[in-house]
Amino acid sequence: MKNDKNDIMFDFAAHLQSVEENYKMIQVLDETGKIVDSNLVPDLSDEQLVQLFKDMLWSRALNDRCIILARQGRLGFFGPTAGQEASQLASYLAFDKKDFLLPGYRDFPQLVKHGLPLHKAFLWSRGHFEGGQFPAELHAILPQVIIGAQITQAAGVGLGMKKRGIKQVAFTYTGDGGSSQGDFYEGINFAGAFKAPVVFFIQNNQYAISTHWRKQTAANTLAQKAAAAGIPGVLVDGMDPLAVYAVSRAAREWALAGNGPVLIETYTSRFQPHSLSGDDPKLYRDEASFVEWEAKDPFIRMRIYLMEKGLWHKEQEEDLIKKFDMDILKEVKMADDAPKQKISQFLEFMYEKPTELLKEQIAYYKNKEGD
Ligand SMILES: Cc1ncc(C[n+]2csc(CCOP(=O)(O)OP(=O)(O)O)c2C)c(N)n1
């Protein structure tokens, strides 16, 4: 394009292309279980690799059980996680129990790994007030349902840790849709400006309910949104557990060393509906896209990788999944056994110190409920 004033040529197309070259997708383990970048193979012990695979299997078992429970009307909200196991659990593995997790509504696998008793996750889903009461030692907040709100909160938590000299990081997850929200840009900008130790994840499962991510942005990657905040942005194959872990670990170290935040886009796929509240992905995704993405399932490549190392036998899986399911059902029973909630209890847990008006309301409901 020509600038009439001083006749300088500027090649906008080349500029855009040069931006995109900085955000090439990182992959370590390809779809066939072959290492494609030996420089990036993470330093995980055999034990850790097997544990990661087991955690992913547990997460798939939990997903499958939750779908049944939701269809039976025994859960409230449930956001399926099948397809996102590497994105969720290989990233989680890079963090420490004392790091602070700010999850979205689809991030229960990480939250339970971080220390939330599973029955509390079920109670949260059912809207039971006990599901909103997290153990004091759990370094996490409730999952955000307001899209993108956890991004600004993570910036604040990270800055708070930095100001108090706490040598930990905050880490948070949003979706591709979340990265279109104002909160997202405000949060990464603030964290960048104050060099807050935060790792921001965008799990790009390609759809915000029915809207494809390419309809939401002209950017060729979501990772490149980091550039405007002056922070590193990395695009990683979200179906590749080794790549997700390697990048997440490096990001945590970067943040912990005082360099500020990192934005990681894990490019992944949700194999099932957005939620169990009526979404039908067949209305906006063609059959070929399911076939294409199911072939990239993180289990396939990880299983081959472990089997070739002599660390795994396919026969182990069935029994393990059965055991996971039995454990999950015990937690369902604990949620079923929770006392029926009362309105007065909701009010009591609203604020740490109730206002005068709230005290009156609590007394009114306690009287009505016969306490
Ligand atoms: C501020 C706000 N706007 C709209 C909604 C309704 N809503 C719920 S889920 C969703 C899509 C989110 O998609 P994405 O961020 O890609 O996450 P995913 O569900 O795919 O994990 C929307 C728009 C909401 N919860 N919050």
Which is the catalytic residue, given 65, 74, 185, 284? 284
Kindly state whether residues 159 and 196 are assigned to the same domain.
yes
Ligand 1 and 222: CB distance under 6 A = no
222 contact partners, CB below 8 Å, separation of at least 6: 176, 179, 202, 204, 213, 235, 265
Q: Whose CA is nearest to atom 18 of ligand 1?
A: 175
Q: Whose CA is nearest to atom 20 of ligand 1?
A: 208
**Cβ of 167: how many Cβ atoms within 10 Å?**
11
pLDDT more than 90, % of the chain = 94
Q: Whose CA is nearest to atom 8 of ligand 1?
A: 147
Which residues make beta-bridge pairs with 174?
Answer: 202
**Nearest Cα residue to 247 out of 90, 107, 111:** 90
**Nearest Cα residue to 169 out of 134, 146, 195, 135:** 195
**Among the ranges given (126-130, 203-207, 263-267), the one the predictor scored with the smallest mean pLDDT:** 126-130
Q: Whose CA is nearest to atom 12 of ligand 1?
A: 208
Kindly state whether residues 122 and 236 are assigned to the same domain.
yes
Q: What average pLDDT does this structure show over 176-183?
A: 98
Question: Quick check: is 126 catalytic?
Answer: no
Question: Which residue type occupies 156?
Answer: G
Kindly state whether residues 283 and 363 are assigned to the same domain.
no
Question: Which residue type occupies 360?
Answer: E
pLDDT in tens, 354-366: 999 999 999 999 9
Average predicted confidence (pLDDT) for the chain = 96
Question: Which residue type occupies 316?
Answer: Q
Domain membership flag for residue 16: no
Ligand 1 and 147: CB distance under 6 A = yes
Domain membership flag for residue 3: no
Ligand 1 and 103: CB distance under 6 A = no
Strand 198-204 relative to strand 262-267, pairing: parallel
Kindly state whether residues 260 and 362 are assigned to the same domain.
no
CA triple 76-77-80, angle to 5 deg: 130
Domain membership flag for residue 192: yes
Kindly state whether residues 223 and 313 are assigned to the same domain.
yes
Kindly state whether residues 239 and 283 are assigned to the same domain.
yes
**pLDDT band, very low/low/confident/very high, at 4 (cuts 50, 70, 90):** low
**pLDDT band, very low/low/confident/very high, at 309 (cuts 50, 70, 90):** very high
Q: What average pLDDT does this structure show over 308-324?
A: 95
What are the start-end ranges of the H helices in the chain?
12-21, 46-71, 85, 91-92, 108-114, 118-125, 149-163, 182-193, 241-254, 287-294, 298-308, 314-336, 343-348, 356-368
Domain membership flag for residue 15: no
- Residue 289 C-alpha to ligand 1 middle, in angstroms? 21
- Residue 209 C-alpha to ligand 1 middle, in angstroms? 7
Q: Which residue has the higher pLDDT, 315 or 62?
A: 62
Ligand 1 and 175: CB distance under 6 A = yes
Kindly state whether residues 149 and 74 are assigned to the same domain.
yes
Q: Whose CA is nearest to atom 11 of ligand 1?
A: 208
Strand 233-237 relative to strand 211-212, pairing: unpaired
Q: Is the pLDDT of residue 35 over 70?
A: yes
Torsion from C-alpha of 21, 194, 251, 63, nearest 10 degrees: -100
- Residue 233 C-alpha to ligand 1 middle, in angstroms? 22
pLDDT in tens, 107-165: 999 999 999 999 999 999 999 999 999 999 999 999 999 999 999 999 999 999 999 99
| Ligand 1 nearest-atom number relative to CA 275 | 19
- Residue 183 C-alpha to ligand 1 middle, in angstroms? 13
Q: Is the pLDDT of residue 7 over 70?
A: no
Whole-number pLDDT of residue 318: 94
Q: Is the pLDDT of residue 1 over 60?
A: no
- Beta carbons of 132 and 152 less than 8 angstroms apart: no
Q: What average pLDDT does this structure show over 232-242?
A: 98
Q: What average pLDDT does this structure show over 96-111?
A: 98
Kindly state whether residues 61 and 142 are assigned to the same domain.
yes
Token readout for 337 is 């056994």
CA triple 246-252-258, angle to 5 deg: 140
Q: What average pLDDT does this structure show over 178-198?
A: 98
Ligand 1 and 114: CB distance under 6 A = no
Which is the catalytic residue, given 114, 270, 301, 303? 270
- Residue 176 C-alpha to ligand 1 middle, in angstroms? 9
Q: Is the pLDDT of residue 80 over 90?
A: yes
Kindly state whether residues 322 and 347 are assigned to the same domain.
no
- Beta carbons of 328 and 118 less than 8 angstroms apart: yes
**pLDDT band, very low/low/confident/very high, at 350 (cuts 50, 70, 90):** confident
Which is the catalytic residue, given 114, 119, 128, 274? 274
Instruction: Report the Cα 178 to chain-centroid distance in Å.
Output: 11
- Residue 274 C-alpha to ligand 1 middle, in angstroms? 9
Domain membership flag for residue 4: no
Question: Quick check: is 245 catalytic?
Answer: no
Question: Which residue type occupies 211?
Answer: T
Torsion from C-alpha of 209, 211, 214, 218, nearest 10 degrees: -110
Q: What average pLDDT does this structure show over 272-291?
A: 95
Whole-number pLDDT of residue 336: 97
Whole-number pLDDT of residue 135: 93
What are the start-end ranges of the H helices in 46-148?
46-71, 85, 91-92, 108-114, 118-125
Structural domains of the chain, count: 2
Whole-number pLDDT of residue 33: 97
Whole-number pLDDT of residue 9: 82
Q: Which residue has the higher pLDDT, 5 or 272?
A: 272
Kindly state whether residues 274 and 242 are assigned to the same domain.
yes
Domain membership flag for residue 299: yes
Question: Which residue type occupies 35?
Answer: I
Q: Is the pLDDT of residue 349 over 90?
A: no
Whole-number pLDDT of residue 322: 97
Domain membership flag for residue 231: yes
200 contact partners, CB below 8 Å, separation of at least 6: 151, 154, 171, 172, 174, 187, 188, 191, 261, 262, 263, 264
Question: Which residue type occupies 145?
Answer: V
pLDDT more than 70, % of the chain = 98
Strand 170-175 relative to strand 198-204, pairing: parallel
Kindly state whether residues 260 and 369 are assigned to the same domain.
no
Question: Quick check: is 274 catalytic?
Answer: yes
Ligand 1 and 266: CB distance under 6 A = no
CA distance 187 to 105: 18
CATH of the domain at 80: 3.40.50.970
Domain membership flag for residue 13: no
- Residue 110 C-alpha to ligand 1 middle, in angstroms? 19
Burial 243-268 (b: 16+ CB within 10 A, else e): bbbbbbbbbbebbeeeebbbbbbbbb
Kindly state whether residues 220 and 360 are assigned to the same domain.
no
Instruction: Quote the domain boundaries for residue 96.
Output: 22-338
